[in-house]
Amino acid sequence: MRAVLSIAALLALLAVAVGCSDKGSAQSEPLTVTSFRDKAAAAVTTGSDLEGKPGFGAKVDVTSPASLNTFSVGVEKSFAEYKRNPQELDAILKRFVDDVEAQMAAGNEGVSFADARTHILPILKPKASFRHVTDGPVTTSFPGELRVAYAVQRPDSFTLVSSADLGRWKQSAKQMDALARSNLLKETNKEQALKCEEKLCGWASGDGYDAARFIVPELRAQIVRKIGPAVYAIPRESVYVALPIKLADRITDKVVRDFVTAPNPVSRDLFVERDGEVVVLAQ
C-alpha cells in the first residue's frame, strides 16, 4: 500500500512538474519582430530620458523632451541578434537603447554640408516651443514672437541644425535661412501648388511645413497676384491661409479658435506685409 501511495505521489509530482514546464514554455515563446519592436520601444522609454513608441513596420519612433529632433530606427539588426541568442534579450535591448541615445545626442554630427544642404527646410514655431530645448538649435526671430529654425529633413529623421553644425559647415545663420527658404520654395512649387477658393488662398498640405511657407516672400507674392494685398494667418503648423485685407474680420475669431484648440499651434495673430516686411496686424 505504501508503494502504491509512493507511486501515486510520484506521478502527482511529475504532473505538477510537467504542468509548470508547459507553463514556462508558453511564457517563453519566441518573440515575433512586432513584439520585439514593442519591447524595444518600451525599453527606450523606461531605460532612458527619451520616449519610444512602436512605429510603422519594424521601426521605433523616438522623441526627446529636451529636443525637437525625432527619428525612426529599425529593430531588424537587434531582432536578428535576439533570434541567434534569445537568452540575451535584456542585454540586446540595452544595447538598442544605448544606440538610440547616441543617435539622439549626435544630431547632425558626422553629416557633411554637401549631404545635408538639399534636405534643409525652415520651420516656424512660437518662441515658447524652444523653452526646454537644450541641444542649441539655430533660430531666427520672426514677427509675432515666432522663431524660424532649420531642419535636416529625411524620410526617417528630423534634426534641427545646431550652432555646432553651422561651425562645422562654415555657414552663417543668414546663409542657412536663405538656403532653407530656397529649398522650401522649390519643394512647394514642385509638389504643393497654391490653392484658392473664391477669395481664400493658402496651403494645407499637412507635410509639416505649411506655416513655414508664410516666411517665403515668393510664395506670399503668388497669393498677392491672386487676391491683391492680403492678410495672412498661420494658426497651426498645418494651416496657412490668406484673404484680402478688407476681409480680415471674417477670419479673426476662427484663427484664434484654431490656435487654441488645434495641435501644433503657431500664432493667433493676423499678419500683413508692408514695404516688403511682415508685421502683425493691429486689432
Among 125, 156, 186, which residue terminates a domain? 186
Greatest alpha-carbon pair distance for the chain in Å reads 109
The overall average pLDDT reported for the chain is 91
Residues 272 and 201 in one domain: yes
Q: Assess contact for 104 and 67: CB atoms under 8 A.
A: yes
Q: Give tens-digit pLDDT for 199-243.
A: 999 999 999 999 999 999 999 999 999 999 999 999 999 999 999
Q: Give tens-digit pLDDT for 244-259.
A: 999 999 899 999 999 9
Does position 17 have pLDDT exceeding 90, yes or no? no
Residues 66 and 129 in one domain: no
Domain membership flag for residue 118: yes
Residues 43 and 76 in one domain: yes
Domain membership flag for residue 205: yes
Does position 92 have pLDDT exceeding 50, yes or no? yes
Does position 150 have pLDDT exceeding 50, yes or no? yes
Domain membership flag for residue 197: yes
Domain membership flag for residue 246: yes
Domain containing residue 143: 113-186
pTM confidence score:
0.86
Average pLDDT over residues 149-175: 97
Query: Please, which residues bridge with residue 152 across strands?
Result: 120, 159
Residues 99 and 135 in one domain: no
Number of separate domains in the chain: 3
Domain membership flag for residue 169: yes
Among 167, 186, 205, which residue terminates a domain? 186
Question: Would you state the pLDDT for residue 283?
Answer: 65
Residues 83 and 121 in one domain: no
Among 160, 186, 212, which residue terminates a domain? 186
Average pLDDT over residues 101-116: 97
Residues 231 and 276 in one domain: yes
Domain membership flag for residue 18: no
Sign, Cα dihedral of 43, 45, 51, 54 = positive
